[in-house]
Chains A and B, each alone.
Chain A
Amino acid sequence: MKSAPFAYHRPGSVADAVEVLAAGDAKVLAGGQSLVPVLAMRLGRPGTLVDVTALPELGGLGIADDELRVGAAVRQRRVERDPTTARVPLIGRAMPFVGHRELRSRGTVCGSLAHADPAAELPAVAACVGAIVEVTGPRGDREVAAAELVTGAMTTVVGADELITAVRFPTAGRGEGFGFAEIARRHGDFALAGVAIRVRAVAGAVKDATLAAFGVSDRPVVRDVTDLLAHAVTEPDLRPATDALAADVVDTAGDAHGSTAYRAHLLGVLAARELARAHRQALPGDPS
C-alpha cells in the first residue's frame, strides 16, 4: 500500500498552482483524507500533486455580505470550532458526522466538495442552502452553484486544470429552520442515507423548503419540498409524502451495509423527522 511515483509541488501562489495544473496530469492536494488513501492503494496515480494547503490566499475564513466564505485551505475542524460559523447552522449540525475529529483536523471543506463522494455531508449542505463555489483556472475565475457542482460519483464540473478556491454559504436569517440527520453503520462512516433541510418562513407562513439527500444516489439530490409542508407538518403526517419522495430519489445500487430498499426506507424516515423539526424551528409558534 505505497503510492506509485509522483512529483510534488508546493506553489507560492494560486497563479503558480494554476500553471502547474495547466501542464496536465496533476491533482490538487488539500487535506488529503480521501486522495492519499486512493494514491496508497494505487487506485489513482497522478503524475503531479499540487499542495495548496500553504497558500495564504486560500486560508481565509470569515463573514461578509451575509455570506460565510471558506477558503480552500481551511480545515474542517477550524470551521467547526470557529464561532462565526454558527451563522450557517447546517454546518454545525453536519460537521460532527464528517468522518472523525482526527480526520476533520486535516480535511478541508472545499476538498470535500471537490472530492464529491455521493455519501458526503458537506456537498449536500452546500447544495441545500444554495452555496456558491469559487473556481479559478487558466481561463479565469468563475462561480458555480453548489447544487450544480456535482455531476456524478466523485465527478464535478471543475476541470482537471481548475482549482476550487473558496465556497460561500449564505448565513441564516430570521424565520429559517434547519434539519440534518444521517444513518451510518457506525458514527463517522459514510451515510447509508442522510438529509439536510432548510425551511424559510415569512410572515408566519412557509415561504420555501429545500431538502438535499445524500448517500442515496450518485450525487446530492436537491428537492423543493415546500408543497409537502402545505399538507402536513408533523413526522407521522409527513411520512407518506416523504416515503414517496424517497422512493423517487433513491437510485443507488446499495451494498451489504444498506440495500436500495433500506436506504429508501431510511430516507423517508429521516426526511419526515427533519422536515418536521425544521418547520418547528422556522415557525415556533405554529400550533400544528
Chain B
Amino acid sequence: MNAEPRRWTPARDEDAALVSGTGAFLDDLDPLPGTLVAAVVRSPHPHARIRSADLDRARAYPGVAAVIGPDEVHAAVRPFPLSTATPMPYLPSAVDRARYVGEPVAVVVATDRYVAEDAAELVTVDYEPLDVVVDTRRALEPDAPLLHDEAGTNVATDRTFCFGDVDGAFDAATHTVRGDYTFPRYSSVPMETYGVIARWSEDAEGPAVEVWANFHGPFTMVPVAAGALGLPPSRFRLHVPADIGGSFGIKSGIYPYVVLMALASKHAGRPVRWTEDRIEHLLASSSGAGRVMRFEAAVDDDGGVTALRIDLADDVGAYLRPPEPSTLYRCFGNITGAYDVPAVAIRARAVVTNRAPTGLNRGFGGQQLYFGLERLMDAVATTTGLDVAEVRRRNLVRAFPHRTPTGGLYDSGDYTRALELLVTKGGYDELRARQVAAREAGEHYGVGLALVVDPSGTNIGYVGLATPAADRKPGRDKSGSTEIVRASVDVQGVVTVLLGSVPQGQGHATVARRVAARRLGLPPEQVRARIEMDTAATPWTVTSGSYSSRFAPLVTSAVIAAVDRLAESVRGAATVLLGLPPEAADGLDLADGEIRDPSSGTSCRFRHAAGLLHWDPGALPADLPARTTADGEFRPPEAVAATAEDRINSSLCYGFVAEMVGVRIDPDTLEITLDRVASVHDAGTVLDPVLLEGQVLGALVHGLGGALFEEFRYSDAGQPQSATFLDYLCPTTAETGFELVSDHLASPSPLTPLGAKGCGEGSSMSLPVAIANAVADALGPAGVAIDSLPLHGEALFRLLDRKDH
C-alpha cells in the first residue's frame, strides 16, 4: 500500500511562487532603503469649496517629514491633458474644490503609516459645502448644480453619429421596440490595492522621477503623468513588478497617485511609499462607469432588426479622468453586437457627477452596451412573439469578414453555430421544461440568453471619436496598437523573451514561453519569459499595457515576430555547422531542439548554433546576421485612425460569447439561485485550454458580482454607501456553486499569425444581462420589468411591491 505521494502540477509557471507565498508584490518591494510612508487626507464632502487648508499641526507632528496640500499641488502640477476640449481641469488632488467623497486633499509623509495617519488627523481643511448632484439624469438638467463652473455644463462630451438610413428604416418598420435601461457602477475588486513608490531626484540635467507602481497601463498615461509634473517621458522611469495582484482594469486609475507621490517625495526629500488601504480603494480608486441608456429597434415583419437608435449617457464621476470617455467608444466598432443591422444612430454623452471617477473595468464598455442591446433583443422577441433564441438567430451576422455600419471589421466567427451549440449543449429545451414544471408548482423560473461580440486588441484611434472630425488636428491622428517583444539567446541556447505586457495575473509568461518554444522547436525548459516592466529597458509604446484583451492577439504575435528574427540568426549559424551555403538557412527546420536540413537529413543542436553566435561569430559569412537579441513587433492590420465619417474599426479581433442562464427565484424569500449557466466561447485559436477556462470562470464570477451583488451606491447627498466589504459585496466561493456547462469553438483570426483572440472579458459583458434576462423571464408573469442591476431579494421585493400598490 505504498500510495504515490500526491503531486501538484501547476497549470502555469507563475503558480508555484504565488501559492507558496513567494510572489513579490508592490508592498513587498523595498528598492530604495530609507523610503518614507504616506497617508492621504481625503474630502469627507461630495462637493465643497476649499477655503483653506491648515497643514502646520500635521507638519509639526513627530515623525512627519512633509505634508503637501492644495497649495503645493497647485504650484507644481499641471492638469492632466483630457481627450475633449471641455474645460474640466483634472489634478491628482483637490485644489480649489473637492468634488467627490474620498478625493485626495493632502498627503502626509512620515516614518510609518501609523504616524502618517495620526498626523493626517491634524490636517484641518475649511470646507464650504456646495450643492450636490449624484444622479446622471439630474446632472443633465439645465438647473443642475455644476461641478466645473467654467464648463457651464456637466456634459463633458456630447456627440451624435448616424450610419446608414436610420430614419428610413424606422419609417418602414413593422414594429418599433424601445427600452430604457440603467447600468450601475461596480468594480472588479483586485485583491492587491494600489501601490506606489516614488523618488524625486535632481541631477545635472534637472529633475527626474523614478517610480515603482502596480500600474499595468495603458502607457499612454506615462507621458500624461510625466507631463503633469512638467517632465519629458525620458525623465520619468516606471518599474512594474512581475507580480500584480489583479486589476481587471481598475489599476489603470493609479497614475494620479503616481504624480501625487512624486511630488510628496520632492517635498520630503526622500522616496515615498503609499499603499492604498481597502477603504481608500472602495471610496476612490476606480470603477466601471454607470450608464443610463435608451435603445430603440426598427423591426420588420420577420423579426429582423433593420436599424437601431442608441442614446448613451455615462456617469464618469467628478472628472473626465483619462482614458474616459472611452467607456462610450471602446465598443464603437461592435456597437451592433452579434447582429447584422445595417443602420445605426448613436448619441454618446459623458456626464460628470459628485462621485468618484470611473475607468477601465473587465469587459470595458461592453457590460453597459450589451445590457441595453440584449435586454432590447428580449423586448423585440416579446413584441414579435418570437422565441428569444429564434429572434436572435434571425438577426445574426452570418458571413465573415463582416463590416459593421460603425466601421468594425469582424474578422472571423460562426455565430449561428455557437448559438446552436449553446442551445443543444446548454439544454435550452430542458430549461424551458423546468420552467413549465416550476410554474405549475407556483414557483418562479426563468431562462435568459445573451450573445455578445467580444473585442480584443484596441485600436486607440477610437479615442479620436470624442472630438468631432472637423476639430481633429490633421497629422495628429491616433491609431493602432503595436506590441514589441525582445527575444534573446544565451551561450547555451536558452532563449529568453522579454514582454512589455505587464500582466495582472493572467499567466502571460506561461503562454509566451510555450508559444516561443513551439515556434523554435525547443522544449519549454529551454525558453524563459520575463515580464518585469522598466520603461528605461523593456521595449514599450504608448499603447503597451495589459488591457482590452491584448495578450492573445497582439503580444503572442510579437513573440512570433521576435523569435522568428532570432531564429534567422541561429539558422545562419547552423549553416556553418552543417557545412551548407548561407542561402540554405531559410530552408532549415527547427524541431526537437535541433536544426535540420530537410534535403540531406543532417542536423545540429540549436544550442550549438547559438553557441557559435556567441563564441565564434567570425565563422559566419559576412551576409549572415550575428544577432543574439532580436526585437519583433506586431502592428495590427486594419487598425487605422477614425475616418472623416467617424467610422472606426475599434479592435483588431472580435471573438464571440453565447451564454444562457436558468434561474430559480424562491417565491417566498425572493432569493435568486442560478440553476445553470451555459457559456460557449469562440476566442479563435485556443492557446492554452486550462488558462482559457480560467479566464472564462473569472469573467463569469465578475459578471455574477455585477448582476447580483456588487454596486457602488451613493446617498442622494453624495455619501458613498459601499466603502467597506460589509456593504460592497463580492461573490465568494459560496455564491459560485452553480452548474456550469461550457464549450468552445475556434474560428481563427486571419489577422494574426496564431489566430488567437482575447478571451478574458467576454462573460463579464454577457453574464450580467443574461441573468437579467433570466430574472425578467421568471417574473414576466408577475408583470415585473427588469431594467437595472444588481438583482437581489430586496430589489425584487421593491419591484413586486411597487406593482402591487
Contact A262 B793 (CB under 8 A): yes
A133 on the B face (CB < 8 A): no
Known: A5-B118, A256-B721, A259-B798. A189 touches B793 (CB 8 A): no
A139 on the B face (CB < 8 A): no
Chain B residue at minimal CB-CB distance from A265 = B797
Which of B327-335, B381-389, B486-494, B726-734 is near enough to bind chain A?
A: B726-734
Contact B671 A183 (CB under 8 A): yes
A2 on the B face (CB < 8 A): yes
Contact A187 B732 (CB under 8 A): yes
Provide the bound-state CA to CA distance between A190 and B724, in Å: 14
Known: A2-B114, A259-B797. A185 touches B709 (CB 8 A): yes
Q: What 1/0 flags go to A182-200 for Cβ under 8 Å of B?
A: 0101111110100000000
B669 on the A face (CB < 8 A): yes
Given the complex, which residues of B lie within 8 Å of A192, measured CB to CB? Answer: 793-794
Given the complex, which residues of B lie within 8 Å of A18, measured CB to CB? Answer: none
Given the complex, which residues of A lie within 8 Å of B729, measured CB to CB? Answer: 185-186, 189
Contact B731 A186 (CB under 8 A): yes
B134 CB to nearest A CB, Å: 14
Contact B794 A259 (CB under 8 A): yes
Within residues 648 to 702 of chain B, which ones have a CB less than 8 A from any CB in chain A? 668-669, 671
Q: What 1/0 flags go to B703-730 for Cβ under 8 Å of A?
A: 0000001000100000001001011010
Provide the bound-state CA to CA distance between A265 and B804, in Å: 14
Contact B793 A186 (CB under 8 A): no
Given the complex, which residues of A lie within 8 Å of B735, measured CB to CB? Answer: 186-187
Provide the bound-state CA to CA distance between A42 and B114, in Å: 11
Given the complex, which residues of A lie within 8 Å of B118, measured CB to CB? Answer: 4-5
B131 on the A face (CB < 8 A): no
Known: A187-B732, A187-B734. A266 touches B669 (CB 8 A): yes
**Besides the contacts A4-B118, A183-B669, what 6 more A-B pairs have beta carbons closer than 8 Å?**
A41-B724, A42-B117, A183-B793, A185-B792, A189-B726, A261-B797
Contact B732 A186 (CB under 8 A): yes
Known: A256-B713, A259-B794. A269 touches B731 (CB 8 A): no
**Complex A-B: 27 CB contacts under 8 Å:** A1-B277, A4-B118, A5-B118, A41-B279, A42-B121, A185-B792, A185-B793, A186-B729, A186-B732, A186-B735, A187-B734, A187-B735, A188-B732, A189-B729, A192-B793, A256-B713, A257-B727, A257-B792, A257-B794, A258-B793, A258-B794, A259-B797, A261-B797, A262-B794, A262-B797, A266-B669, A269-B668
Given the complex, which residues of A lie within 8 Å of B713, measured CB to CB? Answer: 256
B185 CB to nearest A CB, Å: 14
Chain B residue at minimal CB-CB distance from A254 = B794
The number of chain B residues with a CB under 8 A from chain A is 29
Q: What 1/0 flags go to A256-278 for Cβ under 8 Å of B?
A: 11110110011001100000000
Q: How large is the interface on A (under 10, 10 to 19, 20 to 34, 35 or more residues)?
A: 20 to 34
Given the complex, which residues of A lie within 8 Å of B278, measured CB to CB? Answer: 1
Within residues 220 to 243 of chain A, which ones have a CB less than 8 A from any CB in chain B? none
Provide the bound-state CA to CA distance between A2 and B117, in Å: 7
Provide the bound-state CA to CA distance between A269 and B668, in Å: 7
B714 CB to nearest A CB, Å: 11
Given the complex, which residues of A lie within 8 Å of B671, measured CB to CB? Answer: 183
Contact A186 B734 (CB under 8 A): yes
Residues of B in contact with A (beta carbons under 8 Å apart): 113-114, 117-118, 121, 277-280, 668-669, 671, 709, 713, 721, 724, 726-727, 729, 731-732, 734-735, 792-794, 797-798, 801
Provide the bound-state CA to CA distance between A4 and B116, in Å: 11
Given the complex, which residues of B lie within 8 Å of A258, measured CB to CB? Answer: 793-794
Chain A residue at minimal CB-CB distance from B276 = A1
Provide the bound-state CA to CA distance between A2 and B278, in Å: 11
Provide the bound-state CA to CA distance between A186 and B671, in Å: 10
Provide the bound-state CA to CA distance between A189 and B724, in Å: 13
Given the complex, which residues of B lie within 8 Å of A185, measured CB to CB? Answer: 709, 729, 792-793
Chain A residue at minimal CB-CB distance from B723 = A41
Contact A1 B731 (CB under 8 A): no
Provide the bound-state CA to CA distance between A257 and B729, in Å: 10
Given the complex, which residues of B lie within 8 Å of A100, measured CB to CB? Answer: 732
B705 CB to nearest A CB, Å: 10
Known: A41-B279, A261-B801, A266-B669. A186 touches B794 (CB 8 A): no
Provide the bound-state CA to CA distance between A265 and B671, in Å: 12
Provide the bound-state CA to CA distance between A187 and B279, in Å: 22
Chain A residue at minimal CB-CB distance from B722 = A256
Provide the bound-state CA to CA distance between A145 and B280, in Å: 42
Given the complex, which residues of A lie within 8 Å of B801, measured CB to CB? Answer: 261
B708 CB to nearest A CB, Å: 9
A78 CB to nearest B CB, Å: 22
Provide the bound-state CA to CA distance between A34 and B490, in Å: 56
Contact B794 A1 (CB under 8 A): no
Chain A residue at minimal CB-CB distance from B711 = A256
Given the complex, which residues of B lie within 8 Å of A42, measured CB to CB? Answer: 117, 121
Provide the bound-state CA to CA distance between A185 and B731, in Å: 10
Contact B732 A256 (CB under 8 A): no
Given the complex, which residues of A lie within 8 Å of B117, measured CB to CB? Answer: 1-2, 42
Q: What 1/0 flags go to A1-28 for Cβ under 8 Å of B?
A: 1111100000000000000000000000
A267 CB to nearest B CB, Å: 11
Given the complex, which residues of A lie within 8 Å of B792, measured CB to CB? Answer: 185, 257
Q: What 1/0 flags go to A158-196 for Cβ under 8 Å of B?
A: 000000000000000000000000010111111010000
Provide the bound-state CA to CA distance between A3 and B709, in Å: 29
Chain B residue at minimal CB-CB distance from A189 = B729
Given the complex, which residues of B lie within 8 Å of A188, measured CB to CB? Answer: 732, 734
Contact A256 B794 (CB under 8 A): yes
Provide the bound-state CA to CA distance between A262 and B794, in Å: 6
Provide the bound-state CA to CA distance between A190 and B726, in Å: 8
Provide the bound-state CA to CA distance between A261 and B794, in Å: 9
Chain B residue at minimal CB-CB distance from A263 = B794
Scoring A4, A185, A259 by chain B CB atoms within 10 A of each residue's CB, the highest score goes to A185
B38 CB to nearest A CB, Å: 12
